Structure 1
Amino acid sequence: MIAMSGVREVKITEDGYRLLKVIKEVAGLRSEGEALEYVIKRFLEQSEVLREILSRLDVIEGEIEVLKGKLDELRELLEVRERRRVKKEVRKYYEDLVQYIESRVYVFPSEIKAKKKLQRLIEEGALVHLRDEGLNVEVVTTKNVIERILAKLPLKVTDVDKVLTEREQQLFVLLNRLGYVLKRGDIYVRAS
């Protein structure tokens, strides 16, 4: 039994008593009771420090969660930006392909390596796929090119080579065979 200030008696094991004697000598205290008070005081100080550390860890944990949320937002923003960039590049590729075809008046589908993109543009109506089974000819052009050629009608048979370029003439022949253009006497007219 050890007497402490403010406490009547405290039961301590033999090993605990030996430990208190060592603490008393090392710390330069007068009694085992003072040594026990010293140990309890140190324990309480350390537990207060631990409580402070734990509360700081809780704050840090909260900040880490906020940072994780911000990182997720940034990651999502970057993904959206990347999707927009890719979409823009794809749109630019489509626009470039359409412009290329318009500048050439028409192209053969075999000239285009991106078959799926070509098919998509045809399905979306940006390009027109013309096929003449009799001539075994298949071309891709744009509605603008067809409209540009058809806008020049009515046209005399003798004026075709004067008004249309060579490639436009080739497409004109195909449009005539497919029924977009009709020949009435010596004049080509637009089919209704």
Structure 2
Amino acid sequence: MRREDCEDAKKILERLDEIEILLNTVLEELRELKKRKPEARQAPKSSLIEILRERKFMPLSEVKSKPALRQALERGLVLVLRDEGANKELVVLKEAARDLLDKLPMSVKDAEKLSERDYELLQVLNRLGYVLLKGGQYIKTELAEEFYV
């Protein structure tokens, strides 16, 4: 099997995992809605993966559905990273981290041109050793392979 075919198959499997997590989140929300009185019903919340696609990472404390987080972790879609510098745990979408890591090596000037969220993610990855600043260039380390598994 060609490498491109393997990568395409991996992307399809990741997307199926995301859909399954979304469906489970919807089922969980439906169960909650059935428990509530009709006047207490609200608009459904976005799924964890959708939120992370938009935000790239978020504090663990903001995750509303622990079962959705557990499933995303089991399926390898996210990682929980302990950022000692900021004294918090972050849930990071692997896909977002890979997109950023694939842009490396990158000069400091180019890094400053990144979107605010990408730059924040780069700084987190730098503090945690996934990325190093060496000779005015951000480069990924062997640790960064964790985002490709």
* Structure 2: 5+ residue stretches without partners: 1-19, 29-45, 143-149
Give the TM-score normalised by the residue count of structure 1.
0.49
- Which structure has the highest helix share of the two? 1
Hey, what does 2:60 align to over in structure 1?
Answer: 109
Hey, what does 2:124 align to over in structure 1?
Answer: 174
Residues 45-87 of structure 1 deviation map (CA, whole Å, 9 limit, x = unaligned)? xxxxxxxxxxxxxxxxxxxxxxxxxxxxxxxxxxxxxxxxx99
The 8 Å contact of residues 102 and 141 in structure 1, kept in 2 or not, is answered as no
Residues 185, 138 of structure 1: alpha-carbon distance in 2 compared, 3 angstrom cutoff: same
Greater RCO structure (CA 8 Å; 6+ sep): 2
Whole-angstrom distance in 1 between the partners of 2:77 and 2:69: 10
Residues 87, 108 of structure 1: alpha-carbon distance in 2 compared, 3 angstrom cutoff: closer
The 8 Å contact of residues 104 and 138 in structure 2, kept in 1 or not, is answered as yes
Once superposed, what is the RMSD of the aligned Cα atoms?
2.7
The alpha carbon displacement at 1:121 in A equals: 1.6
Q: 1:165 is aligned with what amino acid?
A: S
The alpha carbon displacement at 1:174 in A equals: 0.7
The alignment-based identity, stated in percent, is: 37
The alpha carbon displacement at 1:127 in A equals: 1.2
Hey, what does 1:190 align to over in structure 2?
Answer: 140
The alpha carbon displacement at 1:117 in A equals: 2.3
Residues 91, 114 of structure 1: alpha-carbon distance in 2 compared, 3 angstrom cutoff: closer
Matched, 1:89 2:23: yes
Residues 91, 111 of structure 1: alpha-carbon distance in 2 compared, 3 angstrom cutoff: closer
Q: 2:120 is aligned with what amino acid?
A: Q
* Structure 1: 5+ residue stretches without partners: 1-85
Matched, 1:165 2:99: no
The 8 Å contact of residues 109 and 138 in structure 1, kept in 2 or not, is answered as yes
Residues 88, 191 of structure 1: alpha-carbon distance in 2 compared, 3 angstrom cutoff: closer
Whole-angstrom distance in 2 between the partners of 1:87 and 1:107: 18
Residues 93, 134 of structure 1: alpha-carbon distance in 2 compared, 3 angstrom cutoff: farther
The alpha carbon displacement at 1:109 in A equals: 1.5
**Partner SS state of residue 153, structure 1:** coil
Residues 162-183 of structure 1 deviation map (CA, whole Å, 9 limit, x = unaligned)? 1x21011111111011111111
Residues 113, 183 of structure 1: alpha-carbon distance in 2 compared, 3 angstrom cutoff: same
Residue number among 57, 69, 76 corresponding to 1:125 in the alignment: 76
Give the TM-score normalised by the residue count of structure 2.
0.62
Whole-angstrom distance in 2 between the partners of 1:139 and 1:104: 12
Aligned residue pair count? 106
The alpha carbon displacement at 1:123 in A equals: 2.7
Whole-angstrom distance in 1 between the partners of 2:121 and 2:58: 10
